[in-house]
Amino acid sequence: MTDHVFKSDFLRTMQARGYIHQVTHPAELDAAAASGVVTGYIGFDATAPSLHVGHLIQIMLLRRLQQAGHKPIVLMGGGTTKVGDPSFKDTQRPLLTDERIAENIAGIRGVFEKFLTFGDGPTDAIMLDNDEWLSKLGYLEFLREYGTHFTVNRMLSFDSVKLRLEREQPLTFLEFNYMLMQATDFLELNRRAKCVLQMGGSDQWGNIVNGVELIRRVDQKPAFGLTTPLLSTASGQKMGKTVGGAVWLNADQLSPYDYWQYWRNTEDGDVGRFMRLFTDLSDDEIAGWESLEGAEINEAKKALADAATTMLHGAEAALKARSTSEEAFERGHATTDLPTQEFVWAGTPEEQERNGGPFQKRQAEALLKASELSPSIGQARKKIQNEGVWINDSLIKDPGQFFDLNDVDSGVGAFKVKLGKRGQIVLVKPI
């Protein structure tokens, strides 16, 4: 889509900032966006109590849509979560109870209010739940009304299905219905809210095309689809994964400090691209940051972290995270604002029984595992052997190196455990 010349502000911005991978009817969508308000939606299944950074580009799509004078719909997948999207997954997703799905939706709602303006106005965002209509569909009614518009031949041709079958992984009939349900969502939103655009990641292309074709075939109305490219870092890593796990958007799942630190650790080659995708910084500002070289690129990374964290957690949280990081990494001062894990220094009763009494000393590998920067003693040992772990600003080379309570950083009453030169720092507080 890079060579298409768009007239609408929406698609011009989307193209310039790197959001567009595929569009079903580019000229028609461009004309619609240039001549009036376009209503578009993205669906989010409620598989966890928080969305993560992998979802952020989709949230930004809705933000860009609204910024260009159009109307976004956030569709919560209360109904489709009961089925599970099989797209590019090797195994079936665990099925959640209605109660867990409702809890997850409640946890997710607040994030969208940080990025979108909700209300009753013509371009105000609205949030809907597809369980409202999917749960009311009788099975025979569903098959008779919608099943006739889909052929198994075409459904099998989509990469998301083909890859599962080629790997000889089971694809349940329940999951096979997911793409019909998503297409039904688009048709329902078109009828209820005059929604003409569905957006999503490139892995959703097949599902989106099904909905576009269903609307055009059943109601003979215009409908469009748009997908974003598959996001990976400059080194080829999947976007949003860190040594500590998923980068959650809810503050109770991941602290604003850790969120800021995630963006601060962006690879050099990704800074400008991520500024375009994940912040509202202007093209001129981004060009200025991209012109920096050498060690100065770190200032651009801080600007990216400031902007991204401010958007999600607010300016005060971003400023506090930056200050904490600079104190810890640049001036070597641990502060109590760093993430903290409490560690039972004497050991559990079972450990004490095996050890013949309370622990007086702890090994470096135990401190790294206690920080939760490593999920196991075995992995902690490997990370120390690879020379990537610092305790109290000293590089640790021996996983069995002992520490006692006299080694605690007296300023914060904890051990400062750092993974990677620019990585995460966690205070391990003995109790």
Which residue from 77, 80, 32 is spatially nearest to 194, judged by alpha carbons?
Answer: 32
- Look up 136 and say whether it is catalytic: no
Give the position of tokens 């059943």: 218
Instruction: Find out whether 75 and 42 touch, Cβ atoms under 8 Å.
Output: yes
89 has catalytic annotation: yes
Is there a catalytic annotation at residue 47?
Answer: yes
Q: Which of 25, 93, 382, 422 is catalytic?
A: 93
- Does the annotation count 280 as an active-site position? no
Given the residues 159, 203, 268, 409, the one annotated as active site = 203
Active site residue 182: yes
- Give residue for tokens 């950083």: 409
Catalytic residue among 192, 238, 361, 397: 238
Between CA 85 and CA 176 the distance in angstroms is: 9
Render 68-89 in DSSP notation, one character per residue.
Answer: TT-EEEEEEETTGGGT---TT-
* Catalytic choice (12, 21, 25, 89): 89
Residues 6+ apart with CB under 8 A from 223: 24, 186, 190, 196, 197, 198, 211, 212, 215, 216
**Residue 2 appears among annotated catalytic residues:** no
Active site (annotated) includes residue 194: no
**CA-closest candidate to residue 10, choices 312, 226, 307:** 226
Told to judge if 242 belongs to the known catalytic residues of this protein, a careful annotator would answer: yes
- Residue from 39, 66, 80, 182 carrying the catalytic annotation: 182
Helix axes 98-115 and 53-67, enclosed angle (nearest 10): 50
Helices 26-35, 9-16: crossing angle, 10 deg rounding: 120
Specify whether 238 is catalytic: yes
Q: Active site residue: 13, 22, 47, 341, which one?
A: 47
Residue 120 a catalytic site member: no
Among 55, 164, 276, 313, the one annotated catalytic? 55
Task: Report the C-alpha gap between 381 and 366 in whole angstroms.
Answer: 9
The CA-CA-CA angle for residues 118, 105, 373, to 5°, reads 110
Q: Output the CA–CA distances (angstroms, integers) from residue 361 to 182, 221, 340, 355, 409, in the order listed.
A: 57, 72, 20, 12, 15
Give the active site residue among 17, 52, 63, 322.
Answer: 52
Name residue, tokens 């202007």.
282
Tell me which residues are annotated as active site. 47, 52, 55, 89, 93, 182, 203, 238, 241-242
